[in-house]
Structure 1
C-alpha cells in the first residue's frame, strides 16, 4: 500500500505533467522485464492529484470532464499501462460517489479521495457461478461489537496492493448483495501478490482474503436484493472504457518504440530499398500505419467518453437519460470490438520494424502485445459484437450488468 501526506497538484498538459510521465515511462520496460511493482510511480501520481481529477474544485479536485480524464488516462498508459490500470477501480468508485455528492456517505468517501487516497477492487470470485453474477461466497454477517464481520476470498483484485481502501462485494444474512469499504491494512485483510498473467503483471491483481474483518455500518455502501432492478448508470460503461483507454495508451507507446527502433538501426537487408532502415519507404509506411491506428484509438476512446459525459450530466438523481446511456454503452462496446482486432496486430507489426533483433529479451518489445492481449480479455469481444448487431436489428436493450 502507498500513502500520500499531501497533494501537490500537477495538471495534465503542463510541463510538470510531461516530466512526471517521462519519469514513469523511463523505467517501465525494465520494471516489466524484472517483474517489479511500481510503488514509487503510483505514489508519484497520487501526490500529483491524479486520483482527484474528476472531483469538482469545491471538493478539492481539478473539475475535469469525463473526456479530459480519459485523455489523462491514455497519457499515463502511454508511459506505463501497468500504472494506469491500477487506478481503474478508483475512478469507477469516484464516479459512483459523484452521482450523489451531497449524500453524507458519499461526501465522506469523496473527502478521502480529495485527500489522495485510492480505492482498489475486491469483487470477483472463482467457482461455478457465472462471471458477473450477483451471488458471492464472501459473507457479511452481523456482529454485536463492530456492526458486521466480513469473511471470504476474492480474485483478480486489481489495484488492491497499492490501495488505501478496498471495495468488496458480499452476501448478507438476508440474502442480499452488499458493497463494503474497508481499509487495506485492517486486521484480517490479506493481500496476496499472486497474479501470474503474462501481461499487465504488476497491477496488484492478486488474491484478497478477508478473515473475520470488522466492518462498521457506515462502511456498508449498499445492500440490495439479488433480483432488484439495476440502478440506471453509465459508470459500468466508464469502467469498461477505461480498459480501452489503457490499450490506446499502449498503442501510442508502440509508435514511440517504433520510432526509436528505426532510428537505432544502422544496417538493413541486402535486398532492402535503401541502405539505412530509417529511409526505407516500406518501413516508413509501416510506422505510419501504426501511428494512424494509435490516433484512431485515442479519438474513438475520447468520443465514447464524450457520450458517457453527456449521459452522466443528464443524471439528476434518478439515473441518466435512457437514450443517452444506451448511446454511451453502445459506443464503448464498439470501441472494444474494433480495438480488440487492430491493437494486438499493431503490437505484432512493431517487431517487423526491427527484424530478428527486435525479439531481444532486453528490448522487451513483446510487452506491448502481452499487455494488450491480457487487458482485452477482461470481457469477451464476441458477446459485445453480437449485442451491437442484435440492437441494430431488433432494438434489443443492452445487458444490465457491469460488463456494459
Structure 2
C-alpha cells in the first residue's frame, strides 16, 4: 500500500456483483410499491429510509472509511438499477451524491472525515440552488451571514430535489460580508427551515422537488464552503444522474411491456398469431424497445468513465491531465444526454404499439414511463448541450463547467 493510499484512500471500485447484491432486495421492494406511490402520489420516505439503513448513501465513500468504495461507473450502474425500480428515488438522491462527490474531492483532513462518517452513519443531503421570483441571471438572493461563531441563512429556493427526505441541505448562497458564492450545508431539522411539497410536474412527481425557505437557519462555520473549491466535473455528474434515471426508466418500461405481452390473452382478428407473445410484429416492437434501452444504458455507463478519470486526476498532481479529464467528463455526458433523451422518449412511447387500448388505463400507470422520461429530459436543455458538443468538435471550444438560470435583460 502506497503512502498516498494511507493518507488519502480513493474509491477506485469494488466487485460490482457483490456490491449490487447488498441492495437488489431493497430495489425489488421499492419496485413492488412504485405503481401505488405513483397513483396516490405518495412520497418515497420509506424507500429512502431503507436505502439509508443499508448504507446506500455511502457507496462512494472509500472502503477504508466504512463506505462502499464504488467507482463512478459503478455508482451510476447502481442508480440505473434503482431507477428501474422507481426513477423518482435516484433523482431524489441526486443532490446527496453530488455533495458526497464534492467531499470526496475535498482536501483530505478532519473536516472531510466528519462528512465521510455522516454518510456512513446514514445521513442524506438534499439540495436547494435555484432562486425563486424575479431574479436576474447570475444573482444570488439567498444569503448567509456571520453570527458569532455560527452563520445564519436566509432565502427561498425551488427545485429543492430530495430535501424533503434529507438530514442536510446543500444550499447555494452568497456571503453577506464578502459577496462570495458559497455552499451552506444546513441541518434540515431546525425551526429556520420550512419545506413544501409543491412540485407539480406531470412526471417525476415524488422527487421532493418543491420549495425550501430559510429564516435565520443556523449553519456551522465549517459548513460554509467556498464555491470556488467545488469539484470541477459537477455539471457532468449531475447530468450523469439524470442519464442513469433515464436508462432505468427504459429498463422499467421494457420489463412492463414484456410482462403485458406475455400475459395478454386477447388478440386481434387481423393479427399474426393465436397468442400475442407469438405475434412477429409485436415481437419486433418489443425487440426495438429493447435495443433502444440497451443503447441508452451503454451510453450512460460509457459517459461515466471520464468522470472517474477526473476524480482520480484531482489527486494526481498533473493540472493539464486533470483539466483534460474534466473537459472529457463534460463533453461525454453532454453527448450522451443528446442521444439518451431521444432513445428513452422513443422507447417509452413505442411500447404502446405492442399493447392494446386497455393498457392505457390509469391503473396500469404505463404512461408514467414517458412522463418521467420527458420530465428528466427537460433538465439542462438538450439543445444547448448539442450546440456545446458541436462547438467542441468543430472549434475545440471548452464547455462551460458551471452555468446559471435567471431573468434576461428587459426587452427594448
Same fold per superposition (TM over 0.5): yes
Confirm or deny: 8 A CA contact 1:267 1:275 kept in the other structure: no
**What is residue 345 of structure 1 aligned with on the other side?**
346
Q: Of the candidates 167, 170, 173, which is equivalent to residue 170 of structure 2? A: 167
> Counterpart of 2:153 in 1: which secondary structure?
strand
Q: Of the candidates 75, 79, 96, which is equivalent to residue 81 of structure 2? A: 75
Pair 53,198 (structure 1): closer, same or farther in 2 beyond 3 Å? same
Q: CA deviation at 1:105?
A: 2.1
- TM-score normalized by structure 2? 0.89
**What is residue 227 of structure 1 aligned with on the other side?**
none
Matched, 1:364 2:370: no
Does 308-317 or 365-374 show the bigger shift? 308-317
**What is residue 3 of structure 1 aligned with on the other side?**
none
Pair 304,130 (structure 1): closer, same or farther in 2 beyond 3 Å? farther
| CA–CA distance in structure 1, aligned partners of residues 23 and 83 of structure 2 | 13
> Counterpart of 2:140 in 1: which secondary structure?
coil
> Counterpart of 1:58 in 2: which secondary structure?
helix
| CA–CA distance in structure 1, aligned partners of residues 179 and 392 of structure 2 | 33
Q: CA deviation at 1:235?
A: 2.8
| CA–CA distance in structure 1, aligned partners of residues 248 and 107 of structure 2 | 30
Please give the per-residue CA displacement for 1:165-221, whole angstroms capped at 9, x wherever unaligned: 111111222211121111110221001111111111111101000011122212212
| CA–CA distance in structure 1, aligned partners of residues 242 and 192 of structure 2 | 31
**What is residue 179 of structure 1 aligned with on the other side?**
183
> Counterpart of 2:344 in 1: which secondary structure?
helix
Does 318-327 or 117-126 show the bigger shift? 318-327
Q: CA deviation at 1:130?
A: 5.5
Q: Unaligned stretches of 5+ in structure 2?
A: 1-16, 405-412
Confirm or deny: 8 A CA contact 1:99 1:317 kept in the other structure: no
Relative to total residues, which structure has the larger helix share, 1 or 2? 2
**What is residue 87 of structure 1 aligned with on the other side?**
93
Q: Unaligned stretches of 5+ in structure 1?
A: 1-9, 225-229
Q: CA deviation at 1:17?
A: 3.1
| CA–CA distance in structure 2, aligned partners of residues 68 and 288 of structure 1 | 27
**What is residue 265 of structure 1 aligned with on the other side?**
264
**What is residue 120 of structure 1 aligned with on the other side?**
126
Pair 317,189 (structure 1): closer, same or farther in 2 beyond 3 Å? farther
| CA–CA distance in structure 1, aligned partners of residues 136 and 57 of structure 2 | 32
Confirm or deny: 8 A CA contact 1:273 1:280 kept in the other structure: yes
Q: Of the candidates 35, 42, 48, which is equivalent to residue 36 of structure 1? A: 42
| CA–CA distance in structure 2, aligned partners of residues 104 and 181 of structure 1 | 17
**What is residue 205 of structure 1 aligned with on the other side?**
209
**What is residue 7 of structure 1 aligned with on the other side?**
none
Confirm or deny: 8 A CA contact 1:290 1:346 kept in the other structure: yes
Please give the per-residue CA displacement for 1:52-111, whole angstroms capped at 9, x wherever unaligned: 111111111011111111110000000010111111111111111111252332222122
| CA–CA distance in structure 2, aligned partners of residues 305 and 396 of structure 1 | 21
Pair 92,231 (structure 1): closer, same or farther in 2 beyond 3 Å? closer
Q: CA deviation at 1:326?
A: 1.2
**What is residue 409 of structure 2 aligned with on the other side?**
none
Q: CA deviation at 1:30?
A: 1.2
Please give the per-residue CA displacement for 1:303-338, whole angstroms capped at 9, x wherever unaligned: 111111112111127766222221121110011000
**What is residue 382 of structure 1 aligned with on the other side?**
383
Q: Of the candidates 41, 44, 51, which is equivalent to residue 57 of structure 2? A: 51
**What is residue 105 of structure 1 aligned with on the other side?**
111
| CA–CA distance in structure 2, aligned partners of residues 321 and 394 of structure 1 | 21
Q: CA deviation at 1:232?
A: 6.7
Runs of 4+ in structure 1 deviating by more than 4 angstroms, as ranges, are 317-320
What's the C-alpha RMSD, in Å, of the aligned pairs? 1.8
- TM-score normalized by structure 1? 0.91
Please give the per-residue CA displacement for 1:332-384, whole angstroms capped at 9, x wherever unaligned: 00110001212111111112221211111100100001111111111111100
| CA–CA distance in structure 2, aligned partners of residues 400 and 69 of structure 1 | 21
Confirm or deny: 8 A CA contact 1:167 1:181 kept in the other structure: yes
Matched, 1:143 2:147: yes
| CA–CA distance in structure 2, aligned partners of residues 239 and 124 of structure 1 | 14
Q: CA deviation at 1:231?
A: 6.2
Pair 11,190 (structure 1): closer, same or farther in 2 beyond 3 Å? farther
Please give the per-residue CA displacement for 1:219-263, whole angstroms capped at 9, x wherever unaligned: 212265xxxxx8671132111111010000000001100111101
